[in-house]
Structure formats: C-alpha cells, structure tokens
Amino acid sequence: MINSRGFTLVELVVVVAIFAFMTTIVISNYGSFRNQSDLSDLSYQLALTIREAQSYGISAQAFDGSFDTPYGIYISSDNPTALYLFADANLDRQYEANELVSLFSLNNGNSIMDFSVTNGGQTWSQSGGSLSSLYIFFKRPNPDACIMTNLDENDCQIVGDSLVGGYQGATIILRDQNGDTNSISINSTGQVSISD
C-alpha cells in the first residue's frame, strides 16, 4: 500500500490555475470599482459643500463682521470643474470674487456635466441651453434653500429675515472620466440627496 501524504503535481497545477483565474477576475474589476467609488466619494464631497453653505447660512458664521450674511453655492457652465461657496456680503444674490469662502474643484477628468432646476412640473437645464448659472442660497433663521438661475436673477428675495422665492428644486449631475454619472438633488426645503 502506497502512503500518499502530499499533493500531486496535477493537483498543484489545478490549484494554481484556479488562483490565477480568480486573481485575473478581481484585478480586471478593480478599475471599475475604483472609478465608481471615486465618483461616489466626489458626489458626497460636493453634497457636503452644499451642506456647509447651509450650515454657514443658518448659523452665526460671520463674514466681514456681519453675522446676518446669506451663504450660497454658485455653479457656472463656463467652468464645469468648479463649485464656489460664497458669502453674499452685499446682498445682490450674485457671486463676486471678494465673497469667496471656498472653492470646490473637480479634477482628474471629473466635471459637472449638467445642472437643472424644476418649478411647477417644468424643468430647465444647462444642457438644454437655457441655463448658464445656478445659485443656491441659505439665510438664517430658515434652513430652506432659495434656488435661482440666470433666467431670473431676482427669483430669491430677502423679505424680513428670510430668503423667499426661487425654484422648487435643483439637480447637479457629475460625470467622471469614464462617462459614469451621479446626481445631487437639492429641494427648496434644504434637503440634499445623492443618487447613482
């Protein structure tokens, strides 16, 4: 009787082949997983920047000595790789360079592919040619978002201590270097959500 306490060469080759096959599958899917993970991370960072503007707008965050300054987000079709967080110090509801709080830059082939607004069941979008800029404002004491565009720059009005008017919602669509997209939605109640 032969004592068999080891692996035969055939068994060893089969195990190595299975391991090589599994490794090839994992490595080939890693790039796709990493790209989707990067896009998801970028979407959350952009949503957090919008939340940061909301937090500044409804808290006592001072800008140039004033504690009652609205804070906003500005996106322009002229620069699809930037999102500007700014303090509307002169209350004109427009971004100006001296009001910049922080700049959120998209790089590595990522960009804002499109943005749109909705109101009363109607939608206007940057890709449709009607929008060239998007503003989202927050002002204390309300966490509500006041959303406006270049179509009617007087949509958001300051009435008493609050911003009123604007669109019911906005959507920002991000695209990565592979063409995959994620969207960030903001509604007039101030809710920010992300969808793949």
Q: For the chain, give every domain's residue range.
A: 9-195
How far the first Cα of the chain sits from its last, in Å, is 63
pTM for the model stands at 0.79
172, 134 Cβ separation under 8 angstroms: yes
- What percentage of residues in the chain have a pLDDT greater than 70? 93
70-82, pLDDT tens digit by residue? 999 999 999 999 9
* pLDDT for the residue 164: 77
* pLDDT for the residue 74: 96
Task: Return the structure tokens found at 122.
Answer: 């109607």
37-49, pLDDT tens digit by residue? 778 888 999 999 9
Which of 176, 187, 78 is CA-nearest to residue 133? 78
Is 90 exceeded by the pLDDT of residue 102? yes
CA distance linking residue 168 with residue 118, whole number of Å? 6
pLDDT interval class at 182 (50, 70, 90): very high
Of 19-28, 50-59, 136-145, the one with minimum mean pLDDT is: 19-28
Is 60 exceeded by the pLDDT of residue 58? yes
pLDDT interval class at 3 (50, 70, 90): low
Residue 109 carries which DSSP code?
Answer: T
